[in-house]
A and B are shown apart, each in its own frame.
Chain A
Amino acid sequence: MMMSLGVVDREFHVFRGLPDADGEHIGEVKSFTVPVQPGWVVLDALLYLQAHNAPDLAIRWNCKAAKCGSCAAEINGLPSLMCKTRLDHMPLDKPVLVRPMRTFPLIKDLVTDVSWNYEVNKRITPFTPYNDDQSTWRYFQEDADRVQEFRKCIECFLCQNSCHVIRHHRKFNHFAGPRFLVRLASLEMHPLDVADRIPFTKEEAGIGLCNITKCCTERCPEGIRITDNAIIPLKERVVDRYYDPITMLLHKIGIK
């Protein structure tokens, strides 16, 4: 894609607002004109607004290099990172609409309360190696590859925001969301790990609620194949454990 040359005035529609007592997003979309430079991302335009038009505009960002996962928002309706969304890749004749992530309670303007995610993570059994003698640990790049794909996650929570189970059905108490199914997969498939998180995956993480729509995968800025590589294999493990007669029997008499 070619970069547009020179500065172009473009219109931005930016949500501004505060929550009500339940965290509902109360506010309105305000319009601004920003002189956009070649190569700018959405975050550049919002930082311009802070400096020139709206000094108290709330944005959450850290790295501006698509590495920290702080700047998730909904841009023209699509959950995206503001620092990774190029303006010259978007239609010139339409305003750019920026709204906060719908799924989470609002804090202010484009910033939402994502603390629920941190609570879910705490409930996951951490890494548990098969022995303490590290000098014996060996595993190969092929084994690492699978887990490393999951460990690329920058915790932007865009997948959580996109998943209808949470977004529309509000199953915060019954479903861990794609991000934490990815985390569960990264532990379950870790070559040295021996903890058993399959009951958790089924019961508390509620993997059965996922009906493989792949919306999460589509929005992952790290290109993690959440559904195919993390969720489906985990679902298979759950099925094997709970619905396969032979495994069920073995498990009952104490052989994993």
Chain B
Amino acid sequence: MMSVHYETKTYDVLVIGAGGAGLRAAIEASAQGVSVALVTKSLLGKAHTVMAEGGMAAALSYVDADDCWQAHYKDTIRGGKYLSNFRMAELHAKEAPERVKELEKWGAVFDRTPDGRILQRPFGGHTYRRLAHVGDRTGLELIRTLQDKGIHCGIDVHMECTMTHLLKDGDQVAGAFGYWRESGRFILINAKSVILCTGGIGKAYKVTSNSWEYTADGQAMAMKIGAELIDMEFLQFHPTGMVCPPSVKGILVTEAVRGEGGKLANALGERFMKNYDPERMELSTRDIVAKAIYTEVKEGRGSPNGGVFLDISHRGADYIKRKLPSMYHQFLELGDVDITKGPMEVGPTMHYTMGGVRVHPETQEVLNVTGLYAAGEVSGGLHGGNRLGGNSLSDLIVFGQRAGQHAAEFAKQQTILPKINDEEVKGYAEELVAPFERDSKAETPYQIQADLQELMNNKVGIVREEQGLKEAIEELQVLKARAKVARVDGSRAYNPGWHLSHDIHNMILVGEVVARAALQRTESRGGHTRLDHLQPDNEHWRFVNSTIRLNESGELDVSTYEKPQMDEALRDLFEKSDELAITQSKQKI
């Protein structure tokens, strides 16, 4: 048996994940005067956040003076199909401007307005020009700003360190266990509170814009110690990913291309968005544009490689190269297409996980687990049935800050560190090294992941139906069984096959959560489309969120809860016709 020895470190607050949410949380917690560890399974500055392109939404009102938090709130609620947590949406809209300005204080260099302030661009579903941005590399600016701030805050950063299990002492979180990727040695971090900021689940899908890191670790770890996942049927398929050549299929084409005036056309040269959302056209919400593209392709009006055309060339080469430099290079270098001269081919790609760990709307504390907090894409609530572009980066800094503050306050109230059960930890270590002992003729986890991705894409993808979902749930059991006997070659030192042998369980578990939540919601709404229930079913589903937890015997319990009413004052912001307009608009598919 391989060594299951582990080292132990102790902190007041442990932050797992160093994307926008994790970095912001760590900075806040350390500002409260507690000791903080920030753990990331990549190098610092490489988290998924680095890829974000278009911008972060905040009603700064620098470009459109009429913008205000109330307008941002309304847009978010409408975009989320009334399923967002109302309190989270309110806090998000109110606090985003302050959080964005703070980035400038820490050295971020946003694009400028003619009078020298932060420039804001239009984006789908936002009534006003609202997205603070830096060309098409806003995520890089966000992460580098937070990184360069964070390294001077006394935070201990542990890079390439993967956490595999959350630990508990009674009802309270006690820390986390995992390994250093470089050596494969085990590490335990014993902490008074833990903040999960591990991001989404995109690597369970074949066509995705998501990075290597998106293996659903946080969702799975949290469930295993009693947390609930909500709204997991709602996945955002971004309307525009690259489609050609096949190796780049899924890589994102930022919505900023449409924000800057890009037009969508089908093979007949028709601007088809006029048939789906004549008012907002290309700047309709993502769920609607993605389904429109899906429909065009399905009905035979697609481009040669199974997408549609997106054209920005009318804006001229200089403008494109200045406002969309990464897109220009991405297409030139990876796709052999010059977007200043002609259209690009685009199609939907799995992009964002709306659902996630159920948290308290103000403190971000995870329901059912004392001392555990979650922020960023791993958490659920803010985006409801569909996320507006730009609302994620603002989510990260608003709720990252809140989580950091509350986790630190909680830690300060604890006089002693929670206890660790050494036997339990050794059990986890043995579970992790078990694949090395298996039959050397067994399969490696790579093929299992490929099969999972194919399955999720086909049966739990942009459109679903009962039959396919039921089949998917059965096939997932087969994958689960295969993953249990998959083999690992080589040693524990920097061994991606070994890493995947554990991550694959997370993806399969959370894949099943998505499938079961999708099966339960017998209607179509936002990022969830059922071919066998094409219309929204307001009578049963309008104000109902889904929730899933692991029960004692390791099975998934699926249920729903009714969302709390919107505050009267907030409800008055909406016109009488509003709910009707939303619920009656026929979602064409």
Spell out A's residues near B (CB within 8 Å).
Answer: 1-3, 18, 37-41, 44, 50-52, 55-70, 84, 86, 107-109, 111, 113-115, 118, 121-122, 126-127, 129, 134, 137-141, 143-144, 147-148, 151-155, 187, 190, 193
Chain A nearest CB, measured from B413 CB (Å): 32
B45 touches A155 (CB 8 A): yes
Q: Using Cβ atoms and an 8 Å threshold, which residues of chain B touch A1?
A: 336
Q: Using Cβ atoms and an 8 Å threshold, which residues of chain A touch B101?
A: 134
Interface centre among A44, A65, A107, A122 (most CB of B within 10 A): A65
B248 touches A50 (CB 8 A): no
B46 touches A68 (CB 8 A): yes
Bits for B181-205, please: 1 = Cβ < 8 Å to A, else 0: 0100000000000000000000000
B104 touches A137 (CB 8 A): yes
The 8 Å CB contact of A63, one of B51, B246, B489, is B51
Expressed in whole angstroms, the Cα–Cα distance for A15 and B251 within the complex equals: 28
A151 touches B148 (CB 8 A): no
B117 touches A62 (CB 8 A): no
Bits for B235-259, please: 1 = Cβ < 8 Å to A, else 0: 0000000001111100110000000
B422 on the A face (CB < 8 A): no
B contacts with A, residue count (CB < 8 A) = 67
Q: Residue of A at shortest CB range from B151?
A: A122
The 8 Å CB contact of A67, one of B140, B248, B444, is B140
Q: 17 additional contacts, CB 8 Å, given A50-B446, A64-B251, A67-B51? A: A41-B247, A50-B496, A58-B496, A61-B212, A62-B47, A65-B248, A67-B326, A86-B334, A107-B493, A109-B494, A121-B148, A148-B135, A151-B140, A151-B141, A152-B137, A154-B50, A190-B107
A55 touches B490 (CB 8 A): yes
A141 touches B245 (CB 8 A): no
B575 on the A face (CB < 8 A): no
B134 on the A face (CB < 8 A): yes
Chain B nearest CB, measured from A100 CB (Å): 11
A-B contact count (CB 8 A): 168
Chain A nearest CB, measured from B114 CB (Å): 8
B251 touches A65 (CB 8 A): yes
Chain B nearest CB, measured from A106 CB (Å): 10
Chain A nearest CB, measured from B53 CB (Å): 9
Chain A nearest CB, measured from B244 CB (Å): 7
A59 touches B496 (CB 8 A): yes
Q: Residue of A at shortest CB range from B42?
A: A62
Bits for B210-245, please: 1 = Cβ < 8 Å to A, else 0: 011100000000000000000000000000000011
Expressed in whole angstroms, the Cα–Cα distance for A156 and B173 within the complex equals: 36
Expressed in whole angstroms, the Cα–Cα distance for A139 and B115 within the complex equals: 8
Contacts A/B (CB < 8 Å), 29 sampled:
A1-B336, A38-B246, A39-B245, A39-B247, A40-B245, A41-B247, A51-B444, A55-B489, A56-B491, A58-B493, A64-B251, A66-B333, A67-B139, A68-B42, A68-B50, A68-B51, A86-B333, A86-B334, A108-B494, A114-B43, A126-B152, A137-B117, A138-B116, A138-B117, A143-B112, A144-B111, A147-B109, A153-B144, A193-B107
B495 on the A face (CB < 8 A): yes
A56 touches B490 (CB 8 A): yes
Expressed in whole angstroms, the Cα–Cα distance for A121 and B45 within the complex equals: 12
Q: Using Cβ atoms and an 8 Å threshold, which residues of chain B touch A140?
A: 112, 114, 116
Q: Using Cβ atoms and an 8 Å threshold, which residues of chain A touch B326?
A: 67
Q: A69-B46, A138-B116, A144-B109 are in contact. Are A55 and B497 (CB under 8 A)?
A: yes
Q: A126-B107, A148-B109 are in contact. Are A121 and B151 (CB under 8 A)?
A: yes
Expressed in whole angstroms, the Cα–Cα distance for A147 and B104 within the complex equals: 13
The 8 Å CB contact of B112, one of A18, A68, A109, A139, is A139
Closest A-B pairs by Cβ, 9 of them: A39-B245, A56-B490, A127-B107, A138-B116, A55-B497, A51-B446, A58-B494, A108-B494, A55-B444
Q: Using Cβ atoms and an 8 Å threshold, which residues of chain B touch A187?
A: 107
Expressed in whole angstroms, the Cα–Cα distance for A163 and B554 within the complex equals: 55
Chain A nearest CB, measured from B322 CB (Å): 9
> Which of B71-114 touch A at CB < 8 Å?
101, 104-107, 109-112, 114
Q: Using Cβ atoms and an 8 Å threshold, which residues of chain B touch A134?
A: 101, 104-105
Q: Using Cβ atoms and an 8 Å threshold, which residues of chain A touch B330?
A: 65-66
B498 on the A face (CB < 8 A): yes
The 8 Å CB contact of A39, one of B112, B213, B246, is B246
A144 touches B112 (CB 8 A): yes
B149 on the A face (CB < 8 A): yes
B48 on the A face (CB < 8 A): yes
Expressed in whole angstroms, the Cα–Cα distance for A113 and B493 within the complex equals: 13
Q: Using Cβ atoms and an 8 Å threshold, which residues of chain A touch B119?
A: 141
Q: Using Cβ atoms and an 8 Å threshold, which residues of chain B touch A118?
A: 44, 151, 159
The 8 Å CB contact of B334, one of A37, A41, A108, A144, is A41
Q: A37-B245, A39-B245, A127-B148 are in contact. Are A51 and B447 (CB under 8 A)?
A: yes
B488 on the A face (CB < 8 A): yes
Chain A nearest CB, measured from B286 CB (Å): 19
Q: Using Cβ atoms and an 8 Å threshold, which residues of chain B touch A64?
A: 211-212, 251
Interface centre among A56, A58, A69, A190 (most CB of B within 10 A): A56
Chain A nearest CB, measured from B535 CB (Å): 37
Q: Residue of A at shortest CB range from B450?
A: A51
The 8 Å CB contact of A70, one of B42, B134, B149, is B42
Q: A63-B211, A151-B141 are in contact. Are A139 and B491 (CB under 8 A)?
A: no
B51 touches A127 (CB 8 A): no
Q: Using Cβ atoms and an 8 Å threshold, which residues of chain B touch A137?
A: 104, 116-117
Q: Using Cβ atoms and an 8 Å threshold, which residues of chain A touch B450?
A: 51
Q: Residue of B at shortest CB range from A111?
A: B494
Q: Residue of A at shortest CB range from B50?
A: A68
Q: Using Cβ atoms and an 8 Å threshold, which residues of chain A touch B114?
A: 140
Q: Using Cβ atoms and an 8 Å threshold, which residues of chain B touch A56?
A: 488-491, 495-498
Chain B nearest CB, measured from A152 CB (Å): 7
Q: Using Cβ atoms and an 8 Å threshold, which residues of chain B touch A2?
A: 336
B496 touches A37 (CB 8 A): no
Q: Using Cβ atoms and an 8 Å threshold, which residues of chain B touch A129?
A: 105
Expressed in whole angstroms, the Cα–Cα distance for A52 and B445 within the complex equals: 11
The 8 Å CB contact of B212, one of A62, A111, A115, A144, is A62
Expressed in whole angstroms, the Cα–Cα distance for A114 and B159 within the complex equals: 11
Q: Using Cβ atoms and an 8 Å threshold, which residues of chain A touch B248?
A: 39, 65
Q: Using Cβ atoms and an 8 Å threshold, which residues of chain B touch A69?
A: 45-46
Chain B nearest CB, measured from A78 CB (Å): 15
